Amino acid sequence: MIVPAPYHLALSAVLFTLGMVGVLVRRSALVVFMSIELMLNAANLALVTFARLHGSVDGQVVVFFILVVAAVEVVIGLAMIVDIFRSRETVDIDDVHLLRG
Amino acid sequence: MIPFLVVLIPALPLAGWAVNGLWGARLRRAAVAAIACGTVAAAFVASVGLLWWIQRFPLGGGAPGSLPRAVDLYSWIATGPVQVPLRLIVDQLSVTMGLVVSGVGLLIHVYSVGYMAEDPGFARYFAYLNLFMASMLTLVLAGNLVVMFIGWEGVGLCSYLLIAFWYARPQAAAAGVKAFLVTRLGDVGFLLGIFLAFGIFGTTDFVVMTREAAGRLALGGGAATALALLLFAGAAGKSAQLPLHVWLPDAMEGPTPVSALIHAATMVTAGVYLIVRLHAVFLRAPLAMDVIAAVGAVTAVFAAASALVEPDLKRVLAYSTISQLGYMFLAVGVGAFGAGIFHLTSHAFFKALLFLAAGSVMHALGGETDMRRMGGLGRRLPQTAAAFAVGGLALVGIPPLSGFFSKDLILSQAFHARVWLWGVGVLAAGLTAVYTVRAYALTFLGTPTNGARVAAHDPPPSMRGPMWVLTVLAAIGGALGWSFGRPGTLERFLHPVLSVGGEFALRAGGSGVAEGVLVFASVAVAFLGVALGWLAYVRRALRGTILPLAQLLSHQFYIEALYAAAVTRPARSLARLLSVGDRVVIDGAVVGVARTIGRSGEALRSGQTGYLRHYAAFVLVGALLILVYWMWR
């Protein structure tokens, strides 16, 4: 590999952490979604890296699965967000705390 | 045919109870009354039928169509050695009791229709009364101690229900509870007696017990005495003998027909019946019989004395009942079982009559029972006064009324047994005369103490009718036992039952002269008592001497106070102590567990914030922990 594997993995880790922090910290539902996508793609990167490393295609196949799942998740999630926005005029996730104990 | 008839006797009033109890509130009053009185009338007719059948076909003679002695309704307990069938027996004794119970019961049911006509609890009253009749008839027809105990408890329950009939009145409710608890004390003895009987005989069947008593019970032995005394304890409770008599005066809180039926004519006589039924057992325990006779005699005199200072008319009659029951126990205690039953019968007539007359006085005065607020009613209630007079004379024992014959029979039997018993009985008879004259004088003679008596009048025919029937019975009932030197009709009738299993020979009657002297003595005492009462309460000539004596008597010799100190207060303190334990320990534990679970739930609740970000953070933390755990493996 031109760029050694550890660098790819480090990038994956950084991207994942950024995504995770984004999910925890950001208030806009759309940004949370983007952060989740970021995390998923970080995982994709790690998988492809390892696939290249081991010289097998298995990791890349799993990436396809993840891509499909991510797409589906986005569809449903965005539909829900649009619905919430329609009834509440907000996408701030701190405003939807009715299901509290 | 006969089994059917026997079952009908307790079953019909039971059906009446069910119908009136479940639907009585929705029926017209006439229907309720018809059902209630009808079932009892049918039971009475059935009893008469049984009487005729007994006369026609001597029991167990083997002749075709002879009466079966026992009718088994159901094999209730059947486990090897312990067999308790639901058995009713038919013999002269049970038929006699059945006739008295259903006959007097019928008269009182009819009287109640008029007496309770304006009461909102009309249907409930008749339901309870029918249930009582069913229980009492079960009691007297029972073939073994267990079935008898079923009836025993049933009449106790109905007594409670009817005493506390007007349950909104606190005195009535308290009186009902008191009656139930005091008789319960006696019932403990009864139950222990039943267990002992099982132990000795292997059964509680009356036929078997009577037959085997002589064999299994050593004369004067511990087993016989214990059994006799335990059964007597039950009888003493139910029949209000010293010291378990305290419930009966308070039981007067109930409607007057109830007092007449339950607390004069029937339930309270159950104890006497028990002893007569098991006479074979009691005859094997002379010591117990002495105790019974002594208790009866002392009770007779004590209660008569208490009646002397009682201002409430019904309570006077209650004490009178206790006193007369004492006579019955005195009789059975000396072995005069037939005389005891005879007095039971005649007492049922004249005491019920007295209570019904008192009831019509109350009816006329709007519920007044305090004699100090009565007077001069003889003019306004002539029929009632006449009825009361006849009942009173019978009670006092003036010939030729029924009470004279039955009481005299007891007294002469007592004399032949132990003279001191006879003396006490005569003393009680004298006191009886005095308090009876007192009651009559305060109620019916003299000037009215309350001016507003214009509306007072004799009761309606539905109430007068039974009173007249009882008047006649109280007057001529003596014919049942008229016996001078030879056994009376009732005694001869009961002889087949009473002679089995005991050495008690049919009373041959002493020599004519000795009998005559005793009779003369008791009649003389009766007249003396009447004269004394006349002087004291009609002429008011003996004021000064009465007061201090009255003081002692009006506190019933402080027996009630003794009960309060020795029994009630310790029991209440113990109850309070235990209630603390109950509240703190048991409730604390149970509620504590519930509270702990609740609190832990509340604690866990704080994690449900509703904020997505918090939840995401929790997921992260959890994932990290798992990661750490894996890496450290």
- Per-residue confidence band for B575, with pLDDT thresholds at 50, 70 and 90: confident
- Per-residue confidence band for B561, with pLDDT thresholds at 50, 70 and 90: low
- Listing DSSP states for B494-532 in one string gives HHHHHHTTS---------HHHHHHHHHHHHHHHHHHHHH
Q: Would you give the distance in Å from CA B30 to the centre of its chain?
A: 29
- Per-residue confidence band for B136, with pLDDT thresholds at 50, 70 and 90: very high
Lowest model confidence (mean pLDDT) among B202-206, B296-300, B512-516, B555-559 = B555-559
Minimum distance, in Å, between the CA of residue B601 and any CA atom of chain A: 10
Rounded to whole angstroms, what are the CA distances from B608 to A81, A95, A97, B37?
22, 15, 10, 71
For the stretch B106-131, pLDDT in tens is 999 999 998 888 888 899 999 999 99
Distance, in Å, from the CA atom of A79 to the CA atom of A82, rounded to the nearest integer, reads 5
Q: Would you give the distance in Å from CA B35 to the centre of its chain?
A: 24
Nearest CA in chain A to B602: A101
Query: Is pLDDT of B195 > 90?
Result: yes
| Interface membership of A11 toward B (CB under 8 Å) | no
Q: How many CB pairs under 8 A join A and B?
A: 33
For the stretch B144-164, pLDDT in tens is 999 999 999 999 999 999 999
Q: Mean of the pLDDT values across residues B197-207? A: 88
Can you give the pLDDT at residue B41?
94
Rounded to whole angstroms, what are the CA distances from A73 to A34, A76, A79, B90?
12, 5, 10, 92
CA triple B71-B76-B81, angle to 5 deg:
100
Q: Mean of the pLDDT values across residues B410-431? A: 87
CB contact under 8 A, B617 and A97: no
* C-beta of residue B73 within 8 angstroms of C-beta of residue B25: no
Residues of B in contact with A25 (CB under 8 A): 613
Query: Is pLDDT of B58 > 70?
Result: no
CB contact under 8 A, A98 and B610: yes
CB contact under 8 A, B610 and A20: no
Distance, in Å, from the CA atom of B565 to the CA atom of B561, rounded to the nearest integer, reads 6
Minimum distance, in Å, between the CA of residue A25 and any CA atom of chain B: 7
Distance, in Å, from the CA atom of B368 to the CA atom of B363, rounded to the nearest integer, reads 8
Residue B382 token pair: 């002539």
Segment (H or E) for B75: strand B70-79
Fill in the amino acid letter for B358: A
CB contact under 8 A, A99 and B605: no
Minimum distance, in Å, between the CA of residue A54 and any CA atom of chain B: 23
CB contact under 8 A, A101 and B605: yes
CB contact under 8 A, A94 and B611: yes
For the stretch B211-269, pLDDT in tens is 888 788 888 788 889 999 999 999 998 888 888 888 898 889 889 999 898 877 788 88
Can you give the pLDDT at residue B217?
80
Q: Would you give the distance in Å from CA B492 to the centre of its chain?
A: 27
Distance, in Å, from the CA atom of B274 to the CA atom of B409, rounded to the nearest integer, reads 20
* C-beta of residue B326 within 8 angstroms of C-beta of residue B299: yes
Is it true that the peptide bond before B64 is cis, omega within 30 degrees of 0?
Answer: no
Rounded to whole angstroms, what are the CA distances from B111 to B206, B265, B605?
35, 15, 70
Residue B185 token pair: 């004390």
Residue in B283, B330, B327 with CA at minimum distance from that of residue B499: B283
Query: Is pLDDT of A85 > 70?
Result: yes
Residues of A in contact with B608 (CB under 8 A): 99-101
Residues of A in contact with B620 (CB under 8 A): 20, 24
Distance, in Å, from the CA atom of B9 to the CA atom of B142, rounded to the nearest integer, reads 12
Q: Tell which phi-psi region holds residue B89, choosing left (phi > 0), alpha (psi between -120 and 50) or beta.
A: beta
Residue in B528, B515, B523 with CA at minimum distance from that of residue B485: B515
Fill in the amino acid letter for B337: F
Helix residue spans in B418-502 (DSSP H): 419-444, 461-476, 489-499
CB contact under 8 A, B609 and A100: yes
Q: Mean of the pLDDT values across residues A61-67? A: 96
CB contact under 8 A, B612 and A93: yes
For the stretch B590-625, pLDDT in tens is 888 888 999 999 888 888 888 888 889 999 999 999
Lowest model confidence (mean pLDDT) among A17-26, B25-34, B503-512 = B503-512
Rounded to whole angstroms, what are the CA distances from A31 to A24, B230, B430?
11, 92, 112
Residue B120 token pair: 């909102």
Can you give the pLDDT at residue A90?
84
Residues 6+ apart with CB under 8 A from B220: B284, B285, B286, B287
* C-beta of residue B240 within 8 angstroms of C-beta of residue B268: yes
Residue B610 is nearest to which of A25, A32, A100, comparing CB atoms? A100
CB count, 10 Å around CB of B361?
26
Partners of residue B84 on adjacent β-strands? B77
For the stretch A16-30, pLDDT in tens is 999 999 999 999 999
Residue B620 is nearest to which of A24, A98, A99, comparing CB atoms? A24
| Dihedral (Cα; B358, B360, B363, B365), 10-degree rounding | -70
| Interface membership of A93 toward B (CB under 8 Å) | yes
Query: Is pLDDT of A36 > 90?
Result: yes
CB count, 10 Å around CB of A87?
7
CB count, 10 Å around CB of B550?
12
- Best residue in B602, B604, B611, B624 to probe A by mutation, most A CBs within 10 Å? B611
Nearest CA in chain B to A98: B610
CB contact under 8 A, B608 and A101: yes
| Interface membership of B616 toward A (CB under 8 Å) | yes
- Best residue in B604, B606, B613 to probe A by mutation, most A CBs within 10 Å? B613
What is the ipTM score, two decimals? 0.88
B344 against B455, higher pLDDT: B344
Site of tokens 């998923």: A40
Can you give the pLDDT at residue B559?
64
Sequence-ordered strand ranges (E) for chain A = none
Query: Is pLDDT of B61 > 50?
Result: no
B359 against B458, higher pLDDT: B359
Mean residue pLDDT of chain B comes to 83
| Interface membership of A25 toward B (CB under 8 Å) | yes
Residue A100 is nearest to which of B608, B613, B617, comparing CB atoms? B608
